[in-house]
Structure 1
Amino acid sequence: MLNGLDIEGDSLLHRMPVRGKLIALFVAAIGLFLTAELRLLVPALVLSAALYLSTGIGAGEAFRRVRFVLFTVLLVAGANYLFHSLHEALAVFCRLSTLVLLAAAVTATTGISAFMDEITRLLTPLERFGFVRAADVSLAVGLVIRFVPEIFARYGEIADAHKARGLPVRPLTTLVPLIILTLKDADTIAMAIDARGFRRH
């Protein structure tokens, strides 16, 4: 499998504790959904983009990592324009795009193991009351983060196969095999987890 989404660097986010980044992301998400003022949301979007690029990731790689999510955000904004108003559409686009870029900045500056350890520590008090199993949740989050670059690689392989055969790269012709391959990988990972007895501990 490919490397994770984190990159080496010495930026402010790289030096920031994992717990601080997660709390800041949570607070930012709440703040973004409490306002619909474009005079606040637009600067927030610009600042989040600058923060994302400050991690040392190149502009091309930065866009490649978030393009699919931003395309979904654009569709959601378009739906809000059709059923509500232009102001609402712009607010939704700025709000969700800012959150996507902030989350991307956090994942680019935090290793998977650090994510999993911190999530386990944060959820341990809830585990004592029987609400969750901290290790299971952290493992699930780690697998999701770990599979993101793998899914991107799968999509690139499918697109290259289409181009080699002279076929146009269309969403419907690429998403179906991508979903099938992703589900097969998920089944393989699940069997490996069960074989090692992780979910029985």
Structure 2
Amino acid sequence: MLDPLYIQGDRWLHRMPAGAKLAALVAAGIALFFVQNLWILAGAMAFAAALVVLTGVSAASWWRQVRGLVWVLAAIGFFSAVFQGWMHAAVVLLRIGVLVALAMAVTLSTRSADLVAACERALTPLERLGWVNAGKVALALALTLRFVPEIWRQYQEIREAQAARGLAKHPLALLVPLVVRTLKRAEQVAQAIDARGGQ
């Protein structure tokens, strides 16, 4: 399987076991929702950003991965500020920012195969109880990790093709084929998961 997000390195973050990184990510996600102090959240944001830098990712590559999130965060921040005040908006945005940065640090410093294997091991006790199919969930994770950058690649291809036709300023000319391709790819992912489940 390709590793479209992984950046090869030999720093302590790369050497840290995938299971430990996933466990830390889950624990951080839970802990963040109990933190209301802006200074603590700002410190967590700085730490998470430092971890992303530690992976060795370039500024251009980082921006390509997060720029689509900027508009989402802007909308969340705006509505949170309007309905609950700017302090609450700042808390929400910092929480999301920390989680995104931590998730990026994990995916950039960990091979997809290692993440999938760690996920399958973590779910094995639940599989023994009959609650989940660990292999099926792990496969879904693997396909999703490959699927996300694939959508971005298709977006770039469609945008270049539409620009060549003089349709770059028409949102529907970009959105419709991207949605169609994404739905087709999602169907392929679902079929792969179903096939694994039937084995």
TM-score greater than 0.5 by the shorter chain: yes
Does the CA-based 8 Å contact 1:13-1:109 persist in structure 2? yes
Q: What per-residue deviation string (whole Å, max 9, x for no partner) do you get for residues 148-183 of structure 1?
A: 111110111122123222334565543332221011
Q: Report which stretch shifted further, 64-73 or 171-180.
A: 171-180
Within-5 A mapping of 1:1-201: 3-169=3-169, 173-192=173-192, 197-201=195-199
Q: Distance in 1 between matches of 2:50 and 2:197?
A: 40
Q: Percent same amino acid among aligned pairs?
A: 43
- Letter paired with 1:19: G
Q: Report which stretch shifted further, 172-181 or 148-157.
A: 172-181
Q: Distance in 2 between matches of 1:44 and 1:174?
A: 37
**Does the C-alpha gap of structure 1 residues 161 and 122 become closer, same or farther in structure 2, counting only changes over 3 Å?**
same
- Letter paired with 2:52: Y
Does the CA-based 8 Å contact 1:124-1:134 persist in structure 2? yes
Q: What per-residue deviation string (whole Å, max 9, x for no partner) do you get for residues 117-136 of structure 1?
A: 11111101011111101001
Instruction: Give every structure 1 segment of 4 or more consecutive aligned residues whose post-TM-superposition deviation is greater than 6 Å.
Output: none
Unaligned runs of 5+ in 2: none
**Does the C-alpha gap of structure 1 residues 171 and 6 become closer, same or farther in structure 2, counting only changes over 3 Å?**
farther
- Letter paired with 2:141: V
Unaligned runs of 5+ in 1: none
- Letter paired with 1:134: A
- Letter paired with 1:62: W
Q: Distance in 1 between matches of 2:147 and 2:7?
A: 16
Q: What per-residue deviation string (whole Å, max 9, x for no partner) do you get for residues 86-139 of structure 1?
A: 111111111101100110110111111111111111101011111101001111
Count matched residues: 199
- When normalised by structure 1's length, the TM-score is 0.90
- Letter paired with 1:198: R
